[in-house]
DNA sequence: CGGATTTGACCCGCGC
DNA sequence: GCGCGGGTCAAATCCG
């Protein structure tokens, strides 16, 4: 199924110049085709090639879903620091569903986290992830005809919900690996049906089942995202670390899909002043488009 | 037949 | 307190 999709998107996928609307993430731009850092790295795999966190030398949040202590895994909803624009013609946005001031929320993150964990323990065992600290998330947008982009992992769809103010439903996927707690959400922009927003939550604790771990000639290992090229990746917390990021992060293209024609654009976050309460995607995309057109 | 998908129901957080 | 919306569960269904 995904194979079919990957074929289709070979010609259709390209990065959208828009940012995602993901609420609580760190944005940082990257440029593909220049390095071997695959998108998969962004999902984790510290046991393989250096993750993006390693490369950026950013304190890596405890992304292990099973980690006993998640103090560094700041709840995504608590992280709202945004990057500064890196290029005049680039823009990205992390809209927030909450209007709470950044500093306020970040201050209380640790305590809230601990409290939350305490409360969760005291509460009756709830099956949902709401009992657990929120996983680190990042998101990107691609322009694709297919919703579920091949990323090198196997996903099982466990839900689909209609999105308010959007004709397109949001799909929920979970990594099929029983030991892996990574989830991803996929939805389309209501303004541009060709734009697919993918949000990853958590970190893979296993190698890609579809791609060999080792890759020759410096090709990105365990290829995962020939079609889906994150133009805008976001992380919770530590965002300021990326503010001055000058090293282009990239996704390799075509490692397993050489014909994939993916165009990427450097994508940076606008100044915080531009990032207030964009909320839903439909609120974001237009502003970004406007900004890009400027 | 096993795994993946669909889909309605349910739970929870949040805003009013 | 109530309603809404997001996220998840799980039974039913589909598909290879």
> A277's torsion region: left (phi>0), alpha (psi -120 to 50) or beta?
left
Place of tokens 């850092």: A37
Task: Name the strand (E) or helix (H) holding A282.
Answer: helix A281-293
Domain count, chain A: 1
Question: What's the CATH number where A159 sits?
Answer: 2.20.25.80
Query: Does the nearest atom of strand B lie within 7 Å of A1's Cβ?
Result: yes
Residues 88-107 of A with CB under 7 A from strand B: 98
Chain C bases near protein Cβ (<7 Å): 4-10
Q: Which of A37-46, A74-83, A150-159, A217-226 has the highest mean pLDDT?
A: A150-159
Verify if strand C has an atom below 7 Å from the CB of A238: no
A164 CB inside 7 Å of strand C = yes
Letter string b/e over residues A142-154, b meaning 16 or more CB atoms within 10 A of that residue's CB? bbbebbbbbbbbb
Range from A132-141, A219-228, A241-250, A266-275 that averages highest in pLDDT:
A132-141
How much is the mean pLDDT over chain A? 49
Task: Give the C-alpha separation, A159 to A116, whole Å.
Answer: 25
Do A233 and A42 contact (CB within 8 A), yes or no? yes
Residue A26: strand pairing partners? A235
Checking if the pLDDT of A20 tops 60, the result is no
**Alpha carbon separation from A290 to A28, A128, A165, A283 (Å, rounded):** 20, 39, 21, 12
Is A7 part of a structural domain of the chain? Answer: no
Q: Is residue A121 part of a domain?
A: no
Is there a domain that residue A5 lies in? no
| Closest residue to B5 measured CA to C1′ | A157
Does a structural domain hold residue A174?
A: yes
Does any domain span residue A267? no
Q: How far is the CA of A164 from the C1' of C6 (A)?
A: 10
Quick check: is A210 in a domain? no
Q: What is the CA A50 to C1' B6 distance in angstroms?
A: 38
A78-105 per-position pLDDT tens digit: 333 333 333 333 333 333 333 333 333 3
A191 lies in which domain range? 137-201
* pLDDT band (50, 70, 90) for residue A33: very low
Is strand C in 7 Å reach of the CB of A161?
A: yes
Residue A43 resides in a domain: no
Beta bridge partners of A128: none
Å from the A89 CA to the B7 C1': 43
Domain assignment of residue A195, yes or no = yes
pLDDT in tens, A152-161: 788 889 989 8
Q: Which residue is closest, via its CA, to the C1' of C5? A: A164
């Amino acid at each position: 199924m995904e194979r079919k999709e990957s074929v289709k998107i070979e010609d259709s996928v390209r990065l959208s110049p828009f940012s995602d609307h993901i609420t609580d993430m760190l944005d940082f731009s990257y440029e593909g085709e220049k390095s071997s850092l695959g998108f998969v790295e962004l999902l984790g795999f510290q046991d393989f090639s250096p993750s993006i966190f390693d490369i950026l030398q950013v304190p890596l949040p405890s992304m292990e879903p099973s980690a006993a202590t998640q103090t560094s895994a700041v709840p995504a909803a608590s992280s709202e620091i945004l990057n500064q624009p890196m290029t005049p013609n680039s823009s990205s946005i992390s809209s927030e569903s909450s209007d709470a001031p950044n500093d306020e929320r970040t201050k209380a993150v640790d305590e809230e986290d601990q409290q939350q964990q305490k409360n969760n323990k005291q509460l009756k065992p709830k099956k949902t992830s709401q009992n657990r600290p929120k996983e680190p998330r990042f998101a990107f947008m691609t322009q694709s005809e297919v919703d579920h982009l091949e990323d090198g992992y196997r996903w099982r769809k466990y839900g689909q919900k209609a999105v308010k103010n959007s004709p397109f439903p949001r799909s929920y996927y979970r990594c099929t690996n029983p030991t892996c707690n990574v989830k991803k959400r996929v939805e389309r922009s209501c303004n541009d049906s060709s734009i697919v927003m993918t949000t990853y939550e958590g970190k893979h604790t296993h190698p890609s089942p579809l791609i060999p771990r080792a890759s020759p000639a410096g090709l990105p290992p365990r290829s995962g995202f020939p079609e889906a090229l994150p133009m805008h990746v976001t992380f919770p917390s530590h965002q300021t670390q990326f503010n001055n990021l000058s090293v282009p992060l990239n996704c390799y293209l075509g490692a397993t899909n050489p014909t994939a024609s993916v165009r990427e654009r450097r994508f940076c976050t606008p100044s915080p002043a531009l990032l207030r309460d964009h909320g839903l995607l439909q609120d974001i995309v237009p502003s970004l488009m406007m900004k890009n057109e400027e």
